Structure 1
Amino acid sequence: MLKWSNWKHLRIPFSFYLMPVFFFALAMTPNHNGERILIVLITLHLFLYPSSNGYNSYFDKDEKSIGGLRNPPKVTLGLYYLSLLFFLVSLGLAYLINWQFASMVLVYGLVSMAYSHPSIRLKKHPFLSWFIAGFFQGFFTFCMAYAGLSDFGWEIFSRQHVIIPGILTSLMLWGSYPLTQVYQHEEDAKRGDQTLSLKLGVRGTFSFAALWFLVSGIAFAWFFIQRSQVNALYGFLLAMVPVVLYFVIWFSFVRKDEKRYANYTWAMWMNRVSGIALNAFFIWYFLENTQILQVF
């Protein structure tokens, strides 16, 4: 369990790319508390997400590049137990806030396990796995983070002011998620996993992503306009400029040579560009929306 190869499969730095959802929830919550912010951040990004990464890696047994690992080491039984240990720690930390937040962490963890576990293996179902991944990493995580940050329970899933921004996060993830699978077609096909990207094909994946990026962009614009936050709209559009430019350039290269450019390196740089841009925007939006700097 303590082997370095097992820890590499947790891919803790990869949690950075899921942080925009946390910062968006932080921007929207009315009840800020330093201790809760730290607990939720550590619970989700240092333990829950890495647990999910390690657990799925154990059952996938990938031999080629996966998100965050260009050359994944061979998995061992120790990785399985390490991922479960991280999951138990995430539950214990979540319980420090309240039992309902802990139960949300439990639900997320169980669903993520079902993604790759051979008895269920959601990865075999292209549209179902795409929907569930986007829903739980977006909407569900937003609501879960909001509940933990605010010390609320399951009732927040019925609140319009939580539901709408939660849906926005899923819209964006439904566009970006297939792009993370575009370089894994050979390995997925070998295992019999019918991912959405494999089903759509390389060019179809890019076209599909472009459509969802357009939908999510319009939805975010509507969100900021109806809140009379024109500055936030401009900030969001500015943050999207490098993401859209990179996507367009990548797609143009892919159209010329799929095998050469639909690869791990280009996909990871897409993650980096979008991760940096969205984290920067939502951190700024948190400071702007809460006007927290005016307290100091």
Structure 2
Amino acid sequence: MNPALPPTPTTATSMSLRDVWLHLRLPFSQYLLPVCLFALTLPPGIASPDWGRVVWILVVIHVLMYPAANTFNSYYDRDEGSVNGLEAPPPVDRTLFWVSMGLEALALVGGVLINWQFVFFILVYGAFMKAYSHTAIRIKKRPVASWLLISTFQGGFVFLMTYVIVHNINLATVFQPGTWPAGVALGTLISTLNILALYPVTQVYQHAEDASRGDLTISRLMGVRGTFVNAWVCLVAAAVCFFVFYSGGWPFWLMAALLAPGLIYLALITARVWQDPTTATYRAAMWMTRLTGWGMNLFFLILLAGQ
């Protein structure tokens, strides 16, 4: 038996196409889209002929790279309760492992059609996500490390990757003076802070299942109430950075208006959880993710439309 693969129960049957589709968690990719859209709004902007290339980059990231990581994680976690973006995970077998490998291979082929740097970024992201889930390393079992690394890779790393690939910046010149326009470093920090805030919230309803596997996630370490306190602290820090990024101008206030429904909902959840931690459910966390994700996507799309 291949030691890289967790054992499949003898009662397992081949997964259906529907089961595989659910484990891709494609709908959840849209809530990670704001990180890429944010990078697209930075100067020097995007010329009209380049939009086809930009769309292809976004497709590779959100339809291939992210689902490859999701299916790999699902295969090694074998969750029976709700997980991020999937309320009732179907049982998995080795089919999902090979689907994950196939999706990553397709992502690499898609990257080749852009440039070698995109391939490099995809390989680095894939290697980290394997280390996050694989039983031999399983960064997921280390609460602080997994929180910081997931937030860095899904936030700042993807932000920089998008900026570098879209604008054809040579990695060999990354550290040369004048390579980055003002705002790239702050945008990287903001993207990381947003994931630092919301990632633990997506774990808050998994405490029992994570405990059964021996995974001390950051949300379990913080506790249910601490998870929401962390969300507010990181979101306030991100808001301050956004205010500086937009120099307190109209884009900041437009963003605040579009995020208001999500933040109000988060405030309501926080108040309920403070009284009764058992109200921290999958559906509550997902609605908060949807509202904030839709608000951010709409905000950046408005900015892009005005360029």
Q: Do 2:69 and 2:100's aligned partners in 1 also have CA atoms closer than 8 Å?
A: yes
Query: Percentage identity across aligned positions?
Result: 38
How many residues align? The count is 285
- Match of 1:17, SS state, is coil
Q: Do 1:235 and 1:281's aligned partners in 2 also have CA atoms closer than 8 Å?
A: yes
Equivalent position of 2:11 in the other structure: none
1:79 pairs with 83, 92, 96, which one? 96
Question: Residues 57-116 of structure 1: CA distance to partner in whole angstroms, max 9, x if unpaired?
Answer: 000000000112111000110000001100111111111111011101110111011111
User: What does residue range 16-55 of structure 1 map to in structure 2 within 5 Å?
Assistant: 16-30=30-44, 32=46, 33-55=50-72
User: What does residue range 187-266 of structure 1 map to in structure 2 within 5 Å?
Assistant: 187-225=209-247, 230-259=249-278, 261-266=279-284
Instruction: Please state which structure has a larger fraction of its residues in helix.
Output: 1
Equivalent position of 2:10 in the other structure: none
C-alpha deviation, 1:157, in angstroms: 5.0
Q: Do 2:186 and 2:241's aligned partners in 1 also have CA atoms closer than 8 Å?
A: no
Question: Residues 20-75 of structure 1: CA distance to partner in whole angstroms, max 9, x if unpaired?
Answer: 01111111152521221121111001000011100000000000001121110001
Report the residue type matching 1:20 in the other structure. P
Equivalent position of 1:12 in the other structure: 26
- Match of 1:75, SS state, is coil
C-alpha deviation, 1:160, in angstroms: 5.6
The gaps in structure 1 that reach 5 residues or longer are 292-296
Report the residue type matching 2:18 in the other structure. W
Go from structure 1 to structure 2 and tell me whether the alpha carbon gap of 1:108 and 1:72 turns closer, same or farther (over 3 Å shift).
same
Q: Do 2:219 and 2:227's aligned partners in 1 also have CA atoms closer than 8 Å?
A: yes
Task: Find out whether 1:68 has 2:85 as its counterpart.
Answer: yes
Report the residue type matching 1:3 in the other structure. L
Report the residue type matching 1:134 in the other structure. S
- Cα distance in 2 for partners of 1:239, 1:8 equals 29
Report the residue type matching 2:22 in the other structure. K
Report the residue type matching 2:204 in the other structure. V
- Cα distance in 2 for partners of 1:213, 1:203 equals 16
The gaps in structure 2 that reach 5 residues or longer are 1-14
User: What does residue range 31-180 of structure 1 map to in structure 2 within 5 Å?
Assistant: 32=46, 33-155=50-172, 158=175, 159=180, 161=182, 162-180=184-202
- Cα distance in 2 for partners of 1:160, 1:174 equals 25
Equivalent position of 2:292 in the other structure: 274
Equivalent position of 2:208 in the other structure: 186
- Match of 2:219, SS state, is helix
- Cα distance in 1 for partners of 2:54, 2:181 equals 22
C-alpha deviation, 1:152, in angstroms: 2.5
Go from structure 1 to structure 2 and tell me whether the alpha carbon gap of 1:169 and 1:157 turns closer, same or farther (over 3 Å shift).
farther
Q: Do 1:29 and 1:150's aligned partners in 2 also have CA atoms closer than 8 Å?
A: no
CA RMSD of aligned residues (A): 1.5
- Cα distance in 2 for partners of 1:274, 1:157 equals 32
Provide the TM-score with structure 1 as the length reference: 0.92
Report the residue type matching 1:282 in the other structure. F
C-alpha deviation, 1:266, in angstroms: 0.2
C-alpha deviation, 1:2, in angstroms: 6.1
Moved runs in structure 1, 4+ residues, more than 3 A?
155-158
- Match of 1:201, SS state, is helix
Provide the TM-score with structure 2 as the length reference: 0.89
Greater Cα shift, 159-168 or 171-180: 159-168
- Match of 1:8, SS state, is helix
Q: Do 1:147 and 1:156's aligned partners in 2 also have CA atoms closer than 8 Å?
A: no
- Match of 1:218, SS state, is helix
C-alpha deviation, 1:7, in angstroms: 2.1
C-alpha deviation, 1:287, in angstroms: 2.4
Q: Do 1:254 and 1:262's aligned partners in 2 also have CA atoms closer than 8 Å?
A: yes
